Amino acid sequence: TLAVMFFAQMVAMIGFSSIFPFLPLYIQSLGTVSGLSVELCTGLVFSGQAFSMMIAAPIWGALADRWGRKLMVERALFGGAVILGLMALVRSAEELVLLRMIQGLVSGVLSATNALVAAAVPRERSGFAMGLMQVAMGLGLGLGPVIGGVVADAYGYRAAFYITAALLVMAGGVVFCGVEEQFA
């Protein structure tokens, strides 16, 4: 479980962070339809996701306690994949802001993966396991922007969203097939 979750968290962080280098440029290329400035929409794209995640996180945590942690990891990965795929199809910066806010409501991969790992490893190994999950996060956050920048440069902004969505589907599939949760 720890190895699978390490991989899933790393891939998820690569995917989610791969859009960071070009997101302001993508917003600028989309333009706005409501008269909001591109700068304001850029700020909303980044902060809207964080605020909506802040609201949803306790709800997802409670559902994890009730229905299982693996299910919440799968929800976050597959839901994030759908939302990121849709981000490639937006026509305006406002639509992107809305999808980023929905992404915050739907995703929450970090807390879900950490909760699953914490529940799966023996208590005496929890410090090591949480440390490995931090390594996976840091590795993904370090590699993601480079990969996203290369893909966006070579194939365009929208292609980077599709590749990110595919990465999240792959990570979700690995969790679905590779994790056995003993949930009671």
2-46 pLDDT, tens per residue?
A: 999 999 999 999 999 999 999 999 999 999 999 899 999 999 999
- 156 — phi, psi (to 5°)? 105, 165
126-170 pLDDT, tens per residue?
A: 999 999 999 999 999 999 999 999 999 999 999 999 999 999 999
| 65 has pLDDT over 90 | no
Virtual CA dihedral for 40, 45, 48, 53, nearest 10 degrees?
-170
Q: How far apart (Å, rounded) are the C-alpha atoms in residues 114 and 130?
A: 7
Distance from CA of residue 174 to its chain's centroid? 15
pTM score: 0.92
C-beta neighbour count of 25 within 10 angstroms = 12
pLDDT at 171: 95
Token pair belonging to 106: 């739907």
